[in-house]
Chain A
Amino acid sequence: MKRLINQQPSKAGKWLLGALPFILILLVYLVASNERLAVNPNDKLMPSFEAFGHAIHTMAFEPSKRTGDYLLWADTLASLQRLGIGVGISALISLVVGILIGIIPLLRASFAPVVTVISLVPPLAILPILFIIFGLGEVAKITLIVLGITPFLIRDVQLRVMALPEELIIKAQTLGASTWQLIVRVVLPQVLPKLIDAVRLSLGAAWLFLIAAEAISATEGLGYRLFLVRRYLAMDVILPYVLWITLLAFLTDYLLRRLSLYAFPWQQTEGGAK
């Protein structure tokens, strides 16, 4: 018998081992739910799979009686729009600011401290300020996402720029590059894939801020719906929504990774994005 550390699962075995925890969680839920429902058929805490199916059907495939919208899709659209705009703005700001303070020492001296301080402010603590300034509309929610993840992204981009080998920066200068040319032809293209990686890491935080903002003030959105149906203990809606958000988060991450590999093929031989 080989040592445990030298035993590799076969391909099928890998799938099976990977699926096992999911199957176990499902089984545990099924058993627990059945037990509870046997005692009290009206139990709302652990609905049966039938109840889930029914709730999903109501939310996703039947127009709402009040508004006529298909709620799941309307919520998803609203949330993804806020997330997309928020993350997009953050990425753009952090790319510009991060590169500038990463490569130009004079700008770094004056902006790096302020970015560090801003990154330490807990974004949720200033949510009330945002609501006061921007009202309860879309702007406040998007601003929260931007404020929440931009400082992290700026600092990441800045560090990536500063981690570029000095040899490359010197080499570009010996090829006659001006500061601007060096930024657009050497720094920017090498930092873009790193920005995508940083955005992937910051998506979790972006979802957190989105759901928090929606929970407090919104008329639609995944976070809004979750906190609305909480009042009715509607676990049959909440759990599918949580799974749906998880799936969306997974898909965004996957798509960003594919984008990075597709748009920057030179990373593949370098062992970049994985």
Chain B
Amino acid sequence: MKNIELKKLWKEYGDNVVLENINLTVKAGEFITLVGASGCGKTTFLKMLLGTEKPSRGELLLDGDPIRDEPDANRGIVFQRYSVFPHLNVIENVMLGVEFGQSKLLGRCFGSKRRQVRAQAQEMLELVGLGHVANQYPTSLSGGMQQRLAIAQALIKQPKVLLLDEPFGALDPGIRSDMHALILDIWQKTGITIFMITHDLTEGFYLGTRLLVFDKHRQDPDNPNRYGASITFDIPVGDTRKSTLDDISNTMKQKQETV
């Protein structure tokens, strides 16, 4: 089943071409990792999926329909920072999404409904391993735990796509590998489509079922913004040969030297 489709998609700001002519089809349940040098347009790409940026030309379809050009519950997001609400405790953070759906006026549930939502949220917290800190405020949690919370918070809305914007970039290596195990576990259990931006090529290789590398096909040394980036590598499931990794690594290094 097709989940996301991009047809001849361009993104430009005036004369500055960021992305050019991107064609891509993503099936439901794929785990896509996005890598590329900084400024290569992978964040713009994610923002278009999220709805905070609009394509300049071309089509961007979610389940066959044009994607809404503002964020909505179809697309969950986890940012590198500031993904959880500091004024709500851990379980309230997770309950919030459900409460928005159930109470239009106050965005808050009461009585037996509240207990029901709470139980649902508690279940989600257990899934990400935060069941024991349900009543603490996020600021008292470590960075890794905050990211777990952000994931739980996004998942409770059962979005069609989960977008991760360098979610583990600020974490220690040890914590990071725990988070990798967690996200793979969640992905397998829910079968959700995931797009994840990462700086770490090995992370992208290890986690995804499909790795997309963003880079410019053409360079104009006099006018670096003349040409935009597109997808230069699209590597499918399980192709984790060392030589492929080195190939991409090399092209990215060259790229950074020229920049």
- Which A residues fall within an 8 A CB radius of B? 165, 167-168, 170-178, 180-181, 184-186, 189-190, 264-266, 269-270
Contacts and interface: CB of A to CB of B under 8 A. Distances in A.
Contacts of A189: 87
B100 A185 contact: yes
B91 to A, nearest CB: 14
Interface string B51-81: 0100000000000000000111101110101
A189 B106 CA distance: 13
A175 B82 contact: no
Given A167-B79, A184-B107, 11 more contacts: A170-B52, A172-B100, A173-B70, A173-B72, A174-B71, A175-B153, A176-B100, A177-B100, A184-B106, A185-B108, A266-B89
What is the interface residue range for chain B against chain A?
35 or more
Contacts of B153: 171, 175
Interface in B83-141: 83-89, 96-97, 99-101, 104-108, 137, 139-140
Nearest to B81: A167
A166 to B, nearest CB: 8
Could you say which of A168, A170, A190, A265 has the most chain B C-beta atoms within 10 Å of its C-beta? A170
Chain A interface SS verdict (over half): helix
Contacts of A170: 50, 52, 71, 77
Interface of B: 50, 52, 70-73, 75-77, 79, 81-89, 96-97, 99-101, 104-108, 137, 139-140, 150, 153-154, 157, 159
A170 to B, nearest CB: 5
B86 A190 contact: yes
B149 to A, nearest CB: 11
Interface centre among B83, B96, B107 (most CB of A within 10 A): B107
A176 B101 contact: yes
A168 B72 contact: no
Contacts of B89: 266
Contact of B154 (A168, A174, A181): A174
A186 B108 CA distance: 12
A167 B82 contact: yes
Contacts of A265: 137
B104 A176 contact: no
Contacts of B52: 170
Nearest to B137: A266
A190 B76 CA distance: 22
Nearest to B97: A175
Contact of B72 (A174, A180, A181): A174
B139 A174 contact: no
Nearest to A165: B82
A83 to B, nearest CB: 29
A269 B140 contact: yes
Nearest to B140: A269
Given A167-B83, A270-B86, A270-B139, A175 B73 contact: yes
Nearest to B99: A185
A178 B104 contact: yes
Nearest to A188: B87
A273 to B, nearest CB: 13
Contact of A176 (B73, B85, B106): B73
B86 A175 contact: no
B87 A181 contact: no
Contacts of A172: 85, 96, 100
Contacts of A171: 77, 79, 82-85, 150, 153-154
A58 B82 CA distance: 59
Nearest to A189: B87
Contacts of A180: 105, 107
A257 to B, nearest CB: 18
A172 to B, nearest CB: 8
